[in-house]
């Protein structure tokens, strides 16, 4: 195990939902941390973080800017395609002792053959191209690990959230605020399915603790590790908790995921049918063996309260989405008319 106080890490990205919490914790703990990104969120960076302003998709420029640098750990938080994985392999081969690829728990088998998910669960998602691309990236990196010893660790997050957005099942292009606004206005809100499927949310602060425990961890090389909370809730409980924090009654309307996708114009095949409509209960035994003492400590009601308080006090988090709002009204109206017709 490396000395965490002298380790040197590079994050590609570093200012997103997952990575911001890790960046803050590493800065507090004295790591030498470098971020390579386009510099769009410079204002949120803690003191002492080194910046490399560059679009990594410009491989030639990125190679030039890191040519004199080497690292104990490199983690890329923004890889979406196998082509980008190949680019990172070219950029960081021989320049890091550990490379962490952030995949996605949505890569796991859909529909699942068992509700309880481990790292041994097959990776196959015919519903979502995003997930299939993540699987292709995993396969590329493991090929390089087996053939050349490329020091890969694959991390699989599930539904991770921070102070800027509440994790909900159904939302439009501007995130969860419009659903919260509907609740505050006393409107009905759509909950997919019957709301009883099991789901796991993880606060970014908990994720960061586990992730840091894997950084520089020799036992994590070549391994695939999922990082989630152990708390499991139904979607009815999730929506009910959010409404309770807002101090309003929940008025849920349950509609099947297949109907929501078929109704258009939103594409819910991937993120809903290929992900959130399925049960997701994670066994984190492997993570806890690699990071002794780790446990996620932020319950959903605690994390959601902090998030909602932050959103209510920060106008930039209140991104209205009138198109999604009108769509919800229309879907609910169609359902009510269909029920009325059936009762005739």
40-89 per-position pLDDT tens digit = 666 677 888 999 999 999 999 999 999 999 999 999 999 999 999 999 99
- Pick the closest to residue 162 from 104, 213, 208, 205 (CA basis): 205
What's phi and psi for 46, nearest 5 deg? Answer: -75, 160
3-state secondary structure of 62: helix
114: number of Cβ within 10 Å:
10
Q: Is the pLDDT of residue 3 over 90?
A: no
Domains and CATH numbers, the chain: 98-339 (3.40.50.720)
pLDDT in tens, 209-256: 999 999 999 999 999 999 999 999 999 999 999 999 999 999 999 999
Tens of pLDDT, residues 105-156: 999 999 989 989 999 999 999 999 999 999 999 999 999 999 999 999 999 9
pLDDT band at 2; cut points 50, 70, 90? very low
Residue pointed to by tokens 């049960």: 279
Tens of pLDDT, residues 274-318: 999 999 999 999 999 999 999 999 999 999 999 999 999 999 999
Sheet of strand 50-53: strand arrangement: 50-53, 32-37, 8-12, 73-76, 99-102, 152-157, 224-227
Within 8 A by CB and 6+ apart from 302, the residues are none
Buried b (16+ CB within 10 A) or exposed e, 243-256: bebbebebebeebe
At residue 5, does pLDDT exceed 60?
Answer: no
Q: In this predicted structure, what is the pLDDT of residue 115?
A: 86
Query: CA 4, 283, 200 angle in degrees (round to 5)?
Result: 95
For residues 268 and 119, the answer to whether their CB atoms sit within 8 Å is no
| Model confidence, pTM | 0.94
**pLDDT for 40:** 65
Alpha carbon distance 235, 85 (integer Å): 34
DSSP 283: -
Q: How far apart are the first and last CA of the chain?
A: 71
Asked if pLDDT for residue 1 goes beyond 50, the answer is no
pLDDT of residue 43: 64
The runs of H, that is alpha helices, within 215-282 are 235-246, 257-263
Three-state secondary structure of 130-179? HHHHHHHHHHHHHHHHHHHCCCEEEEEECEEECCCCCCCCCCECCECHHH
């Amino acid at each position: 195990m490396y000395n965490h106080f002298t380790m040197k890490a590079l994050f590609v990205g570093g200012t997103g939902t997952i990575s911001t919490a890790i960046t803050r914790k590493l800065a507090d703990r004295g790591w030498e941390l470098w971020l390579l990104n386009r510099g769009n969120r410079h204002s949120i960076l803690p003191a002492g973080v080194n910046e490399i302003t560059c679009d990594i998709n410009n491989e030639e420029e990125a190679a030039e800017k890191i040519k004199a640098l080497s690292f104990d750990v490199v983690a890329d938080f923004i890889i979406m395609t196998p082509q980008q994985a190949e680019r990172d392999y070219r950029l960081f081969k021989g320049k890091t002792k550990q490379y962490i690829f952030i995949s996605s728990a949505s890569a796991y088998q859909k529909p699942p053959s068992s509700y309880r998910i481990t790292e041994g669960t097959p990776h196959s998602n015919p519903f979502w191209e995003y997930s299939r691309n993540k699987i292709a990236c995993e396969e590329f990196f493991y090929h390089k690990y087996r053939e050349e010893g490329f020091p890969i660790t694959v991390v699989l997050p599930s539904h991770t959230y921070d102070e800027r957005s509440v994790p909900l099942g159904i939302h439009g292009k501007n995130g969860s605020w419009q659903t919260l606004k509907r609740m505050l206005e006393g409107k009905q809100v759509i909950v997919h399915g019957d709301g009883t499927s099991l789901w796991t949310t993880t606060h970014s602060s908990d994720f960061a603790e586990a992730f840091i425990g894997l950084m520089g961890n020799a036992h994590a090389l070549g391994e695939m590790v999922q990082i989630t909370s152990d708390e499991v809730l139904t979607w009815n409980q999730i929506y009910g908790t959010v409404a309770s924090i807002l101090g309003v009654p929940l008025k849920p309307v349950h509609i099947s995921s297949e109907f929501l996708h078929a109704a258009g114009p939103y594409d819910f095949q991937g993120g809903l049918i290929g992900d959130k409509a399925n049960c997701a209960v994670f066994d984190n035994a492997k993570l806890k063996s690699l990071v002794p003492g780790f446990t996620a400590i932020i319950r959903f009601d605690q994390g959601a309260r902090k998030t909602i308080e932050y959103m209510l006090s920060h106008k930039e988090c209140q991104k209205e989405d009138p198109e999604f709002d009108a769509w919800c009204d229309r879907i609910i109206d169609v359902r009510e008319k269909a029920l009325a017709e059936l009762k005739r």
